[in-house]
Every structure is written in structure tokens, then in C-alpha cells.
Homo-oligomer: A and B are copies of this chain.
Amino acid sequence: MTSPLAAAAALLAQRGPLYLDDIAVGDRYASGEHAMDEAQIKDFAAQFDPQPFHLDDAAGRSTLFGGLAASGWHTAAITMRLQVTTGLPIAGGIIGAGAEISWPRPTRASDVLHVVSEVLDIQPSKSKPDRGMVTVRSETRNQHGEVLQLSTVRIVVPRRPGATAEASNAGAAS
């Protein structure tokens, strides 16, 4: 049996990591799929968002959600899992500095989620020439193509070792 750490390290090594220098505005990535179910929704809610509409279908019916709905933070966490395991092969991993996030519709127990992402912006760091900030916009969709979550995340991405010298001539912001 592989430990989670060994599996994570193997995954990083295997996915052909992208450095800042390998990424272009407009690049697109599509993740694999994650099937939600009732047990996952209720487990996450019991731990992190214990509200009736995330714990019970009947309790959700009289609310804005009209039935059992996943916590938005659960959708966000699954989106991260999909990005990390199949979506965005960033060198050194996905380290977010911040995000904007919205949930146009709730995630349901029957949803199968996947994520499509597009690079919006790339800013080499002025003060730290070994890295830059990549802005990625992602849609988390279900099997019907409905958008469950929109997010725009700023990710810290290292430059390819050796590419640092050129970077300092680029004169980009921050």
C-alpha cells in the first residue's frame, strides 16, 4: 500500500510539471471527474458546515436550496482535488495566494464534477526572480455542463531553474 505522501510525490513527478516559462495566457486544462454522493455531502457538512440543508434532504426542501445541497466549500475542496490530481501540473504543486469564488448553483448528490481551467494572466515577480504569479479561471461543471462553481485563483509558480537571469530583464510588475 502506498502512503498518501508517496502517492502525492509520485503524482508530482509523473505529471510533467510546468514552470512559469512553460505557461501561456489562454492555455487550457481539463481535469478528470469526481462523483459526488449523499454520504460525502453529509460527512463534509458534519465536519465543516453543519447546517440542515447540507445534512438532510427533507430539511433542505423548505430552504433556498430545495433539497440536499453540498457546502460551497466542499465544492471548492473537490475542485482543488481535481486540479491537484489531474488538472494543473504546476512544478512544485499548486500553491494559491488567493481566490475569487462563486457558486451559481448548488452541487447535488447526483452530480459528477469536472473542472475546466484557463490561464488568464502571468506576472513574473519583480522582487523574487525565481517565481511568478499565474491567474487561472476555472469552471467546476457537472455532467450536464452546468456550472456549479466559478473561481479565479492566483497561483505561485516557480521559474524553470536557469531561466531566472532572463526573468530579471523582463521588467514585469511586482
What mask results when residues 41 to 79 of chain A are scored 1 for a CB within 8 Å of chain B, else 0?
Answer: 010111111111101100100011100000111001110
Please tell me how many copies of the chain the complex holds. 2
**B contact residues around A46 at 8 Å (CB):** 4
**Given A47-B81, A80-B49, CB of A100 within 8 Å of CB of B99:** yes
Query: In the complex, what distance in Å separates the CA atom of A7 from the CA atom of B55?
Result: 11
Q: How far is the CA of A95 from the CA of B64 in the complex (A)?
A: 9
Q: How many residues of A contact B (CB 8 A)?
A: 47
Q: A residues engaging B (CB < 8 A)?
A: 4-5, 7-9, 11-12, 42, 44-53, 55-56, 59, 63-65, 71-73, 76-78, 80-81, 84-85, 92-103, 156
Given contacts A49-B81, A64-B156, A73-B80, 14 further A-B contacts (CB under 8 A): A4-B42, A4-B45, A4-B46, A4-B55, A8-B55, A9-B52, A12-B52, A48-B81, A53-B93, A65-B95, A73-B73, A73-B77, A99-B100, A99-B102
